[in-house]
Amino acid sequence: MGKFSDLKSVLFLLAVALTTPALLAQADTTAVKQINIVYGANFTKDEAQYPGASIFSKDERQVQFEHQGADLWCDIAIFYQKENKLKAIGNIRLQQGDSVQMTSGKIDYDGDKKLAKAWESVVLKNADMTLRTDTLYFDRERQESYYNHGGTIVDSVNTLTSEVGRYYMVPKKYQFLDSVLIRNPDYTLESRRLDYYTTSRNAYMYGPSTITGKTYKLYCERGFYDTKVESGYGIKNTRIDYNNRIIEGDSVYFDKASQFASATNNIQVTDTINKGVIRAHYAEVFKARDSVFATKRAVSVSLVQQDSLYMHGDTLMVTGKPDARILRAFRNAKFYKTDLSGKCDSIHFEQKTGITQLIRNPILWNVENQMTGDSIHLLSDLETEQLDSLRVINNAFIISQDTIGMTGFNQAKGKDLFGKFIENELKIVDLVKNTEVIYYLYNDAQELIGINKTICSAIRMTLADNDIEDITFLTNPDGDIFPETELPENSRKLKGFVWRGDERIREMEDIFDEDDNNISLVNIRGIDNPIDIDAEEAERSQNEGDPVNTGQAPNNKATVPPGKPGAQKGG
């Protein structure tokens, strides 16, 4: 998911930045200690303007003060010794040890209340980073440091900016508010609020947040990132642009190292190149393998000549590069488009050949025409992507109800059936080898003339508006047209006749069965109370080292990936 390891660095450095202003608070916090004068230089008083204060100004050296292990230099110091307060003005330098230095134009410090404020071009530096802000506050009593009017932190590779930055010392938490931006050569992170815990090294994003890398883009409005294993999740309005796929869902988990993502509840995975969509309530995406696994009311949606084709199975799998996708629907597979639907045990579609195979007990409905056989193949034109032809291999049987009399059935059977689509509509059907026909004939007045019962070597049927318009008998036909009264009921059905009209898929929702429609969605944690994360941190700390939780999306059981890809299905 991109190089997030540097995020740990910039946040750690910010820890130094925000805690360093509390230099005056590092020693004894239980007893009040006086601010000490190290070098006073020029001394004066101004009771009118600064009653009770001693005023010190520089000569060849700056004025210097010390308090609890920190040294401060300035041009002018207004020192209220009785109140234990100090106002420093001009070219201020605050130093602790050899590694950290802060400069500013002014500082106010209250030694008793343990409150300090530095302002006017505040710059805090150490060996690795620089913090710049206009005003920096530190509160020893509450153990907090913060800026409220914009700050910028720069290290060797990162630039972090935010309007508000805070450090809470007791939980060791950093909080950045309002227009948070991290710039890195490999990614940028934008957020309304970002919280970071140093103990667990976990980051939380609140409000609209976007992480943009070279090969991905993540958006969420409530998210988590584990900097130790470089993985995370979003649990509110989450979307990942993952190369040529877009993954959306109530909860989306990702892992950079394995190039893996999973999603839970109300998922949509969009193929941006082929314009196909998969919807489900659980899905896994393996970026390196260019594959998608989906289950729980899973359906694939693709566009065929301005008509959506819906394909469903208990499990859907899409594999292969963008120009060679293979779609598989396993167990209880069904599909639907306006004039064509079907079902079977499994479906296999290969983009490179344009062949859709209906495998095991297939049945196909072309509007009112029911077709069955041992195997059914639909072929698409590779250039236009429109349906081109149809093959029913072995025991081909086509049935349609007599739409005028509504009691009989037009039937044709043979060894194999070959159909031709013209402008995405089935127009020609050829039956070959040992063909038989039963067909109800009517005159222009819609009166039954008779029932045609014929056998021959081959039959061609032409269709108009998805209804049989004409039948041509080819090669040695043998049959007759029987008056209705002369053909018994038991002779009006060909051997192997099975009418399955009650199973016909008439609309998109029919591809789902009762189990699909009664799925209970997983409860996504963390949405109802999205900013109270102390409990989450405590729970995660207790589970540190638990092999069940290691490497998984914490506190979100809906998006925990399987220990091995594909080993655990359904989220």
pLDDT band at 549 (very low <50, low <70, confident <90, very high): very low
**DSSP run (H or E) holding 213:** strand 202-213
Share of the chain above pLDDT 70, in %: 84
> Of the spans 67-76, 369-378, 517-526, which averages the highest pLDDT?
369-378
Kindly report which listed range (41-50, 133-142, 533-542) carries the lowest average pLDDT score: 533-542
Which of the residue ranges 171-175, 378-382, 408-412, 552-556 would you say has the lowest mean pLDDT?
A: 552-556
Q: What is the DSSP string of 301-358?
A: EEEETTEEEEEE-SEEEEES-TTS-EEEEEEEEEEEETTEEEEEEEEEEETTTTEEEE
pLDDT at 527 over 60: no
Distances (CA, A) of 551 to 78, 289, 525: 55, 21, 18
Question: What is the reported pLDDT for 511?
Answer: 94
The structure's pTM equals 0.76
Which of 517, 535, 557 marks a domain boundary? 517
Domain membership of residue 481 (yes or no) is yes
Is 100 contained in some domain? yes
Total tally of structural domains belonging to the chain: 2
- In this prediction, residue 436 carries a pLDDT of 93
Report the distance separating Cα 101 and Cα 20, nearest Å: 9
Q: Sort strands 42-44 and 36-39 into parallel, antiparallel or unpaired.
A: unpaired
With beta carbons less than 8 A apart as the criterion, state whether 411 and 423 touch.
Answer: no
Quick check: is 221 in a domain? no
Q: Rounded to the nearest 5 degrees, what angle is found at the Cα of 147, between the Cα atoms of 144 and 149?
A: 155
Q: What is the pLDDT of residue 107?
A: 94
198 within some domain? no
Q: Which residue has the higher pLDDT, 24 or 94?
A: 94
CA distance 246 to 233: 15
In a domain, 23, yes or no: yes
CA–CA separation, 329 and 325 (whole Å): 13
Last residue of a domain, one of 133, 151, 169: 151
What is the mean pLDDT of the segment spanning 55-76? 90
> Which CATH number do you get for residue 386?
2.60.450.10
Which of 445, 363, 365 has the alpha carbon at shortest distance from 404? 445
Residues in a beta bridge with 467: 464
Q: For all residues of the chain together, what is the average pLDDT?
A: 82
- Look at residue 568 and tell me whether its pLDDT is greater than 50: no
User: Is-contact 472 460, C-beta < 8 A?
Assistant: yes
In which domain, by residue range, is 47 found?
A: 1-151
404 band by pLDDT with thresholds 50, 70 and 90: confident
Does the residue 326 lie in any domain? no
Domain boundary among 130, 151, 172: 151
Question: Looking at the domain assignment, is residue 310 inside a domain?
Answer: no
Which among 303, 308, 350, 306 is positioned nearest to 329, based on CA atoms?
Answer: 350
Residue 279, domain member (yes or no): no
Asked if residue 555 has pLDDT above 50, the reply is no
Average pLDDT over residues 410-428: 90
User: What's the rounded mean pLDDT across residues 409-434?
Assistant: 91
pLDDT beyond 60 at 23:
no
Question: Average pLDDT for residues 351-359, to the nearest whole number?
Answer: 91
Mean pLDDT of 456-478: 85
